[in-house]
Structure 1
Amino acid sequence: MTNKQFLEPLNRVPNVTVAFWLIKLMAVTMGETAADYLAVNLGLGLTLTSIIMTSILTLVMGLQFSQRRYVPGVYWGTVVLISIVGTLVTDNLTDNFGVALQLSTALFSVALIAVFVIWYQFEKTLSIHTIFTARRERFYWLAILLTFALGTAAGDLVAESFDFGYLTTAIVFLVVIAVIAIAHFVFKFDGIFTFWLAYIFTRPLGASIGDLLSQPVEYGGLGFGTIYTSLGFLASIVLIVLFMTHSERGPDTAKLSL
């Protein structure tokens, strides 16, 4: 390693790869089902679940910020927890405060755009390939939280308020993501712009998949339940992260950037 390489700052988030999108999709799917399991099936309720999960997220986020490079286990643990908390934010607005999904979708959209504008004003870039400083990382995680909250609201809006059902909703968002991918890879749309669009829309896709797998058959699901669905995706995430951590050439080396 040269002195120049040694002095170069290290990115604190992973490369955008096939494995990145795979784990991200599983993480947001688990975020949907785990939030439902803790609040409903375990009987903790939205308020207590939100307090517990936000407290755990705060601790893990502190660990993430203490890193000076990308550490798979810490990073993806943070993503899973922030996915759960993002889901709970939207669920609290809807169930505890009576905020309509149309309004919460609009509010989160405006908030996310505002974060991007302020982020760009300070840093002159929204690229996740240059998360070298604590300030950039704060903007990054705030944007991630809002994408999860927005994705939950948008997914619930399409699946429930528009009465599309979980399977149709998943197909709709899968088509949207395919269009974004085509726009980037075929028509060469800006990579940063298409990345964030895809990141937003994988949240409602994952939520729809989670609901499809976990919800009872009479409600349009497959009836696997929230506990088994959550544990299945958690186990898959852990296995992939362990492989990425201990393998010299794991899935994270197969780049497929958006």
Structure 2
Amino acid sequence: MSIVIKTPEDIEKMRVAGRLAAEVLDYIEPFVKPGVTTEELDRRCHDLMVNVQGCVPAPLNYAPAGYHPYPKSICTSINQQVCHGVPGERALKNGDIVNLDITTIKDGYHGDTSRMFIVGEGSIQAKRLCEITFECMWLGISVVRPGAYLGDIGAVIQKHAEKNGYSVVREFCGHGIGQKFHEEPQVLHYGKAGTGPRLESGMMFTIEPMINAGKAAIREMPDGWTIVTKDRSLSAQWEHTVLVTETGYEIMTQSAACRPKPDWIP
């Protein structure tokens, strides 16, 4: 399958979808606190997307081949949960870390982004993992430009994670996105620079590294969706949707409260 090059009309609609997804994360941040259930976070996000933004929550009833339909509107992955955590009756506790993954559909186009939240007072170790993962995402974004290779993204992410004593999840990756939730290319968060397809203006994909404090091995929970670390170590993830422009990149999932790029990353 070939990589879809986005038209100016596609790009403008993706800017809207991406901004709306980021604004869901802005909205929900004050509610991420000890005692709140992930079910309540899901309900609040669902109501905002559907009743205020006029969006469709992309995860709700999403069913790729081999999976039963996903039952909720967002993903809530706590502590050792790597990704695709299903909201439920679990209440957040002081010191938890949680990834909230939001994908909106607006006028047929997808906006996909996620952030880490520290509940109450997090440990030094948890804060460091979240910070290094944020840096990994931005280092991956920083190498995006026409003529670069897709493998450059994974190489710089892997180098930073492993230099800091962490591991990169191999089984899940970033992906092309547009009118479909998942398109080509697959964006690996590890690998070798100078390999893979050359990037071209108009390509759009997510960069969403999943970084583990322990080993990279993962397993699937009985719900058929939630992925956890095999060694029960903490895991963190950040995600932006990125457009390759004629001179570099544009972040499609920006919002007023979106955390900026670290100053030291070019």
Tell me which interval the TM-score lies in, with the shorter structure as reference length: 0.3 to 0.5
Rg bigger for which structure? 1
| Larger RCO of the pair (alpha carbons < 8 Å, separation 6+) | 1
Give TM-score scaled by structure 2 length.
Answer: 0.32
